[in-house]
Amino acid sequence: MGTPALIMLLICGIGFAGAGIVISLILAKSSKNAQKGEPYECGVETSGTSWIQFNVGYYLFALIFLIFDVELVFMYPWAIAVKQIGIVALVEIVIFMFILFLGLLYAWKKGALEWK
């Protein structure tokens, strides 16, 4: 099986979720009630909007993640070629890791790794 198998899986996923939801729509009884649409929080009406602003700490984690995720993608081709290249690959990855590690240490020192 080649790429068509992936398309098949995509269709399977959409079809399965869709079929489940549609069957339940047909089978389940529904009743209209204004209260049902309220957010499920504590029984009292919600105060203010629920779409509150994001925490900045979260944003910093996302930024650091981005750097390390790109690093991961770079490491896949390296990982396959390691055995052919030999000791040079080791030296290179040590340098690469060292620079990244400095970045992590910098973020650590700056307090970017604390959840505020």
Question: Within 1-60, which residues bind another protein (CB under 8 A)?
Answer: 1-6, 8-14, 16-18, 20-21, 23-25, 27-31, 34, 36-41, 46, 50-52, 54-55, 58
Least distance in angstroms from the C-beta of 16 to another protein: 6
Asked if 90 is part of the footprint of another protein (rule: CB under 8 A), the reply reads yes
Structure tokens at 2: 């080649």
Task: Give CA–CA dist 116/54, Å, rounded.
Answer: 12
Task: Give CA–CA dist 52/31, Å, rounded.
Answer: 31
Least distance in angstroms from the C-beta of 57 to another protein: 8
Main-chain phi, psi angles of 79, to 5 degrees: -60, -35
